[in-house]
Amino acid sequence: MKLCCVLLPHFPLQCEILKRPELTGRPVAVTYSLGSQKLVLDHSPDLKGIERDMPLQQALSRNGELEILQADVPHYWSFFNSILDALESVSPEVEGGTLGDIYIGCDGMDMLYPEDGDLVTAARQVIPTSFETRFGIAVGKFLSRIMAMQSPIEGYKP
């Protein structure tokens, strides 16, 4: 099955920037709690040495100027689901994985989208322009994801 993988890097951070545009370009970490420990869910892409699920204290030791935001996971899922709904206008086969990972079925769409780029253009038009995107089209989830990970980032870059 031919699929288009759509990756929306730093999805939680991008949702926060939509709510608070003044965060653009600032060092930000979005955190969540696991028991008594605070962990990094997402962070500004230009921060080096900070990774998802890293303890907040460790992240702060690497960048003491971090602005800390508490994750609003229900909001992220609600917004993600609205993007999935919008993508159903592009293809009837849309599947969301983890936040920011989407697969769109391409089989049988040749009449609407003669070239792969046509489907990508249609998908890009329904995704908010403030989100960075990566697209990859191939047979199967694994290959389409690899293609997306290697593709250039399109759209807004904070």
C-alpha–C-alpha distance, residues 149 and 139, integer Å? 15
C-alpha–C-alpha distance, residues 55 and 34, integer Å? 10
* Cβ-contact 10, 42 below 8 angstroms: yes
C-alpha–C-alpha distance, residues 40 and 50, integer Å? 8
pTM exceeds cut of 0.95: no
C-alpha–C-alpha distance, residues 58 and 62, integer Å? 7
- Say how many C-beta atoms besides its own lie within 10 A of residue 45's C-beta: 13
C-alpha–C-alpha distance, residues 18 and 126, integer Å? 16
What pLDDT is stored for residue 157 in this prediction? 45
Mean pLDDT (whole number) for 136-153:
94
The pLDDT tens digits for 51-100 are 999 999 999 999 888 999 999 999 999 999 999 999 999 999 999 989 99
